[in-house]
Amino acid sequence: MKKSLCSCTAMALAFSVVAPGFASADMMTEVGPGEGQVNIVAWAGYIERGETDKAFDWVTKFEEASGCKVNVKTANTSDEMVALMNEGGFDLVTASGDASLRLIAGKRVQPINIDLIPSWSAVDDRLKDAPWHTVDGTHYGTPYMWGPNVLMYNTEVFKEAPTSWNVVFEEMELPDGKTNKGRVQAYDGPIHIADAAQYLMFHKPELGIKSPYELNEAQYKEALDLLRVQRTLVGRYWHDAFIQIDDFKNEGVVASGSWPFQVNLLKADKVPVASVIPQEGATGWADTTMMHAEAANPNCAYLWMEHSLASNLQSDLSVWFGANPSVPAACTDGRGMQTAEGCTANGLDDFEKISFWTTPVTKCASQGECVPYYRWVSDYIGVIGGR
């Protein structure tokens, strides 16, 4: 199997410390004519124009109606998104919770005037004031999509779904009689420390972990020690969804934390995979479309944010990515491909069970002091480098 260390987390060192204070730029008060284009940093699979599968295209009609050409830069990790937004040249980003507050505090994104987004009223009430995009009552983006980080597994190796994340954290013999060593993967990003903490919350309750993102020194050490064990098992730390797909097809990978996106594409190619949320629960992501503080195309950006909340787009994206729409009507109104049963299968009712990505900070709610994110960055790089 191919061996690979981290290739993206190293850049995070330069962008890991949350700056004091929050952005307070003036909000737009009206949307004018589009500037002709909008430049977006997005997760893989989030903005489709029918090139991967012609049935999934929510860009072409927007471009025709708005006159705004959509240019997309795919990012593989939240740290890469923060780095790109710091560099500038983009109008929007689909930021997860472990990036959004850093972007707000670093004054890289601007407040959003929800009065200029007619479809705001259709957004899931659980997301409207979510703490990863709302600061002191000010919104810094529009919710886009949310879901869990699932355990993906090969169904020929696991005849029954694994019940625990231990298959990727602890050395063992798998149901096919072979070791898991070299046959599993882990996420290439410091936020993966939270997955280890989530595992420890279940198996070592005596540690007293209340949130996988709020760890004191002792709890943090235990999580790093678990990740060092995992390091001896991992064949690749993945950050590119399509490379992970290839690894499950061709490189003998049989289990890994993953996104529903990879699961869906592999199933569509008849690869024997399935996914599960094991007994320990799961971390997850709730992504927000945020506008750069110095966006060159703010009118097109607002037009795209409104378009992104259309129930037919939300419905089709939910099917494509295997995730949950930020507009609940997308599950039931029949304007797109999704159904109520499909949303239930994607975990629409499991919102309260997911530990959503958020940026670790020193002053934490569950205890006096926690290990901040810049430590997660440097220590995770050390872990995957074998230190």
CATH number at residue 218: 3.40.190.10
Whether 238 and 372 map to the same domain: the answer is: yes
Confidence check: pLDDT of 188 > 80: yes
Is 4 a domain residue? no
Is 268 a domain residue? yes
Residue type, 215: L
pLDDT band at 177 (very low <50, low <70, confident <90, very high): very high
Confidence check: pLDDT of 14 > 70: no
Whether 252 and 339 map to the same domain: the answer is: no
Is 158 a domain residue? yes
Q: Which residues pair with 143 in a beta bridge?
A: 288
Is 354 a domain residue? no
Q: Which residues pair with 356 in a beta bridge?
A: 284
| Average pLDDT over every residue of 78-89 | 95
pLDDT tens-place string over residues 49-65: 999 899 999 999 999 99
Residue 297 CA to its chain's centroid (Å):
25
Domain that residue 68 falls in: 9-147+285-348
In DSSP notation, 293-314 reads TT-S-HHHHHHHHHHHT-HHHH
The least confident of 10-24, 46-60, 99-113 is: 10-24
Whether 42 and 123 map to the same domain: the answer is: yes
Whether 130 and 171 map to the same domain: the answer is: no
Average pLDDT, the chain: 92
Which pLDDT score is estimated for 23?
46
Whether 19 and 131 map to the same domain: the answer is: yes
Confidence check: pLDDT of 25 > 90: no
> 2-7 long-range contacts, Cβ below 8 Å, gap at least 24?
2/235, 2/236, 2/247, 2/251, 3/235, 3/236, 4/236, 4/237, 5/237, 5/384, 5/385, 6/188, 6/237, 6/239, 6/380, 6/381, 6/384, 6/385, 7/188, 7/239
Residue type, 137: G
Q: Which residue has the tokens 């872990």?
A: 383
For residue 78, give both structure tokens.
Answer: 């939240």
Report d(CA 339, CA 319) in Å as an integer. 9
Is 2 a domain residue? no
Whether 88 and 53 map to the same domain: the answer is: yes
Whether 178 and 44 map to the same domain: the answer is: no
Global pTM?
0.82
Is 200 a domain residue? yes
Which pLDDT score is estimated for 16?
42
pLDDT tens-place string over residues 203-243: 999 999 999 999 999 999 999 999 999 999 999 999 999 99
Is 33 a domain residue? yes
The least confident of 205-214, 329-338, 344-353 is: 344-353
Going along the chain, which residue ranges are E strands? 37-43, 69-75, 92-95, 134-135, 138-139, 142-148, 150-154, 184-187, 234-238, 255-258, 273-276, 282-291, 324-325, 354-356
Phi, psi of 52 (to 5 degrees): -80, -45
Handedness of CA 143, 262, 329, 56 (dihedral sign): positive
Confidence check: pLDDT of 176 > 90: yes
Whether 92 and 162 map to the same domain: the answer is: no
Handedness of CA 104, 108, 111, 116 (dihedral sign): negative
Which pLDDT score is estimated for 345?
81
Cβ-contact 136, 21 below 8 angstroms: no
pLDDT band at 7 (very low <50, low <70, confident <90, very high): very low
Residue type, 195: D
Whether 133 and 182 map to the same domain: the answer is: no
Which pLDDT score is estimated for 384?
93
Whether 78 and 22 map to the same domain: the answer is: yes
- Distinct helix (H) and strand (E) counts, the chain: 13, 14
Cβ-contact 169, 285 below 8 angstroms: no
Which pLDDT score is estimated for 26?
75
Which pLDDT score is estimated for 352?
84
Confidence check: pLDDT of 24 > 90: no
The least confident of 23-32, 93-102, 359-368 is: 23-32
Which pLDDT score is estimated for 260?
87
Confidence check: pLDDT of 383 > 70: yes
Is 205 a domain residue? yes
Whether 111 and 69 map to the same domain: the answer is: yes
Which pLDDT score is estimated for 350?
84
Report d(CA 180, CA 176) in Å as an integer. 10
CA distance readout (Å), 335 to 75, 112, 157, 316: 29, 27, 39, 9
The least confident of 15-29, 155-169, 271-285 is: 15-29
Total domains present in the chain: 2
Whether 314 and 365 map to the same domain: the answer is: no
Phi, psi of 141 (to 5 degrees): 165, 175
Cβ-contact 193, 273 below 8 angstroms: no
